[in-house]
Amino acid sequence: MKSNKTPAPGSAGSGEKFEARLAKLKETGEAKQKAGREKKRQELLEDRQLTLWVDTVRGVPNEALRSALFTARNRKQPRENLKSANIAVIGDGEIIYTGEELRQDDETVWLQLIHLARENGLATPFTFTPHSFCQAINWPVSGQSYDRLDKCMTRLQATSLKVKSDRLGEQVALSMLPGYKCARRKDGDGGLWTVRMHDELVFLFSEKIYTRLEWERRLSLPEGFATWLHAYYASHRVPYAVKVETLAHGAGLLGFDEKEEHEEIDEAARESKRKERLRDIKKLVKKGLETLLEAGFLTEFYITPSGLVHVRRVGDTRPIE
């Protein structure tokens, strides 16, 4: 005979119902969260307007500053051609990149393009002369600089960038420079250049989690590891201690060249090469930090014997860790 009794509290039946209710509540909560995120996403896309910042700074997503998206490698080294490469990231997030390797000069150009795009909204193409652009990024005003600018913008256009992090909620995929037209003249005049940025760039500036980079200070630094370190530490309100290897990976100084060409050597020889590489990296990090100290960005730094880097920025009154 079938029983109609309700399972007593604590019985297997009531436990199953309780678990089912919890699962339903969780599912409802996730659905609401997803709907809210999508609504916000559509609002941002409709607006297509970056937050306005003053002319003395340049806005840049933290994901770009805490990764090897723009490497600090020596300009004499050939650039790598990357395909769906998992870019080194310090902290949360994932960056998948396809295109020619980008470096610090490309980042300077990209920051200035974003700066110009913030005024009219991402949906509107904007124009500039290469003369004014080179002045803004502190490059000599010359045909050679125009050529260099053209090459940087070509690299930025031929890219596929996929960024994923907790704050974004889902992956953002875009080309770093969807379109540009370089209208140079035969008489040497730079002409008028036209650029269009990607609408979804707005998501990388959402939640106000981005860095306002001091522009004049960046331009005063030697381009390379010093500019990368400046941007990385500027993206942290209070920089925390990290290993020299972490900084080197984040700047793209390790990874590209770490092939397995030494597979045949014994463990002792491999360890010797690793230690030698770390010594070189430590010297490079120290030189970069000394540059930031001289520039007035840092007030103090030290590197422990084990390779842990501690820094203190100007204005930070807390004792260095």
> Length of the chain in residues, anyone?
321
**Pick from 231, 227, 110, 212: nearest CA to 161:** 110
Taking the model in full, what pTM does it have?
0.81
Which helix (H) or strand (E) is 149 found in, with range?
A: helix 143-157
The domain ranges of the chain are 57-313
H or E stretch covering 136: helix 130-136
The confidence score (pLDDT) of residue 33 equals 54
Q: Give me the pLDDT at residue 28, please.
A: 67
pLDDT tens, per residue, the chain with 321 residues: 445 555 555 555 666 776 777 666 666 655 555 554 555 555 445 545 677 789 999 999 999 999 999 999 988 899 999 999 999 999 989 999 999 999 999 999 999 999 999 887 787 899 999 999 999 999 999 999 999 999 999 999 999 999 998 877 778 899 999 999 998 877 767 889 999 998 888 888 876 678 999 999 999 999 999 999 999 999 998 899 999 999 999 999 986 544 444 456 677 777 778 778 888 899 999 999 999 999 999 999 999 998 999 999 988 777 676
pLDDT score of 259: 45
Q: Which residue has the tokens 């297997």?
A: 12
| Tokens 């300077």 found at | 108
Please tell me the predicted confidence (pLDDT) of residue 257: 45
Q: Which of 104, 128, 124 is nearest to 252 (CA)?
A: 104
